[in-house]
Chain A
């Protein structure tokens, strides 16, 4: 009888949705990714996180005619780090301080706004940012800066469920855009600068009940636990998850990059490799069980989170089709991994790196001496911001080029003992920028088979960029510099074809692209505004 009722209720829900015209995003839609060009349904565009759109209306020949169509000002403080979702003419956008909006994609006019009060006693290292929604059915999913997961009604922004991931008062926060896989919503927590123990969680998309948890810091006695000192250091071991992972449906594996170990700089507090921090973990999407891991930076002491975006592709290497995972790491190396085995296929620096000579045949970095932060300080390249960071890269599968915003920087790192106090910052050190240091940023195109640089476009000396990258099938790449420009490039040559001064540099994404009413839009979040560009309409 109960089963009958449930089926009846479900049918009613579907019928109601159909009547009201609300789109129902299915698991198949998520698997299809960007096939429907009116949509952008996941953080990385599709499960591969290539951020490569099939759209071709805007081309290298006409991109110089791109014109701003509208601007949406949120009126909030803080900078966007979000990737807006696009579902059938409506944008779903998360912002600073637990804000979110639904916006008309044609006009930039607000449809609804959601706001959750930020607790007054919340602390976090890096701003009350959010990186975007996940979507399934007629529900949107977002994490909150006070470490909750919310399900919102797509039509109204009303809360459907609210689940606490962990108590934010103990130093945790959440900023990651959820990854929806089948009937589960996968999220993680931030806070490695506050002595947390990181984890990846999956929740039932309907009920909000937790399905599984994977701790990114192994406990002594468990596999990987031997890489931590005896005692309770692992409880403060960091390993944040603040950038969305990728999903391989064939293997049913999700891939996540993990954050730095805690405390950030003081080596003496945590002897050992510190698994699974600064690593890539491959987890079964149904159970959260670890299939394999690869640690990019064993015993990291430079705050080099490996929370970059894992980009999936199938590449022919030496005549053999390989399932690969490409990863430009904050530690300055670019990696192509076999995503079935987790073994390194190739790894080379893509910026100046002084801490490791190379990645050895066993997959471990061959360390250079003199790069352990202490009271006297040591100079290392790259700086704590890394060779790149959380900003999304892009990959064009036709030209087989990987595009990433690179940072050329160095820092003097200091490390010292610090007493842990729950809820307080716990970094065990600090950095300074050498006075004669001239940083710069660049957009770089890397061949993932050889890890060689194919082209670069250098931005102005003295500043770096935190922009992500977007690629399109027409042969364009979009990215931002550190001075507030959004730029378009020829993806084969790196030639700059168009730019527009937004007034605030882009952080995180370089925008998304979608079709509405037969027009291709480029949507760019910068500062606390969204700007949409399109080609002029012909009369």
Chain B
């Protein structure tokens, strides 16, 4: 009888444990924005994380954390990933105190976001109009716009003002992977220009300028041209004045994600 009661209690305890929502210390992180905590978080990051994720959090053996942050990862997700690791990968779990992890999260928030002081610059309303006229045919925001250029829905959280200016004025200086320009020439002479989405020795996958995605076997091509210039046109001062650029960047800085959930 005693045994039955004990088993029953144990089962109850188990059920209760399952019902309890997982602890989320990141919901109230006292270290966010605290310069001293961020410095400690940086030291912890350097010794525990940097060997895999790179000293600049830009990824090496492990993923690019700046991209993870720009992709909308919440502090809770960051905390739980550090705490539990990622099974089946090289990312280990840790038994370190919550406080250490929260300081690392605070540090990552610092490296992964654009300082708030940078954002309120220019006339965002005019910038929005410029964007609709000049950029939206290629770039998507919150599910609307073109697809040949990078999706800019969260660009305000992942690019500094200086980086945006550089990428608008001289877009060919650095072209992100998956957006490099190629032209494939088929054996029947058809020329298809677009961006390279993937490639190996035998095949290439392309989104053409009409946004059609298609793979090509290299053995079926007459020619494959890797172009050094981005499909994005450069916008020098003659084409986009300093003042308009300022407004455009002001608008882009307001793009910090969108909730596309159907309510």
Contact = CB atoms under 8 A, between A and B. Distances in A.
Interface string A380-424: 000010000000000000000000000000010010101000001
Interface in A101-155: 120-127
A125 B90 contact: yes
B200 A485 contact: yes
B2 interface: no
B93 A499 contact: no
B46 A460 contact: no
Given A78-B89, A433-B58, A424 B48 contact: yes
A480 B234 CA distance: 39
A484 B59 CA distance: 21
B28 interface: no
Contacts of B26: none
A124 B48 CA distance: 12
B160 to A, nearest CB: 15
A123 B92 contact: yes
A477 interface: no
Contacts of B87: 77
A96 B60 contact: no
A483 interface: yes
Contacts of B199: 460, 462, 483
Contacts of B48: 424-425
Interface residues of A, dominant DSSP: loop
B95 A264 contact: no
B88 A96 contact: yes
A384 B87 CA distance: 24
Interface string B39-71: 000000011101110111011110000000000
B73 to A, nearest CB: 21
A126 B56 CA distance: 20
A491 B200 CA distance: 21
B54 A433 contact: yes
A430 B54 contact: yes
Given A427-B51, A430-B46, A499 B202 contact: yes
Interface in A480-539: 481, 483-485, 487, 496, 499, 501
Interface residues of B, dominant DSSP: loop
A435 B174 contact: yes
Nearest to A421: B47
Contacts of A411: 60
A76 B50 CA distance: 28
B177 interface: yes
A455 interface: no
A418 B54 contact: no
B60 A127 contact: no
B54 A481 contact: no
Contact of A481 (B94, B177, B201): B201
23 contacts: A77-B87, A120-B93, A122-B92, A123-B93, A124-B92, A125-B51, A193-B51, A264-B51, A411-B60, A418-B47, A426-B47, A430-B46, A430-B50, A431-B51, A431-B55, A432-B55, A432-B56, A460-B199, A462-B177, A481-B200, A481-B201, A483-B201, A487-B201
Given A424-B48, A425-B48, A433 B60 contact: yes
Contact of B200 (A377, A414, A416, A483): A483
Interface string A415-458: 01010000011110111110110000000000000000000000
In the A-B complex, the 9 residue pairs with the smallest Cβ-Cβ separation, listed nearest first, are A77-B88, A430-B50, A483-B200, A430-B55, A127-B90, A123-B92, A427-B51, A432-B54, A78-B88
Contacts of A483: 199-201
Interface residues of B, number: 27
Contact of A425 (B47, B88, B95): B47
A121 B201 contact: no
A459 interface: yes
Interface of A: 76-78, 96-97, 120-127, 193, 264, 377, 384, 411, 414, 416, 418, 424-427, 429-433, 435-436, 459-460, 462, 481, 483-485, 487, 496, 499, 501
Nearest to B91: A127
A454 B73 CA distance: 49
Nearest to B45: A430
Contacts of A264: 51
A459 B201 contact: yes
Contacts of B59: 433
Interface in B147-197: 174, 177
Contacts of B95: 121
Contacts of B89: 77-78, 127
A380 B51 CA distance: 16
Contact of A460 (B47, B50, B55, B201): B201
Contacts of A414: 50, 55
A426 B60 CA distance: 17
Contacts of A126: 61, 90
Contacts of B93: 120-121, 123
Contacts of B46: 416, 430
A435 B54 CA distance: 12
A391 to B, nearest CB: 15
Nearest to A126: B90
A230 B32 CA distance: 42
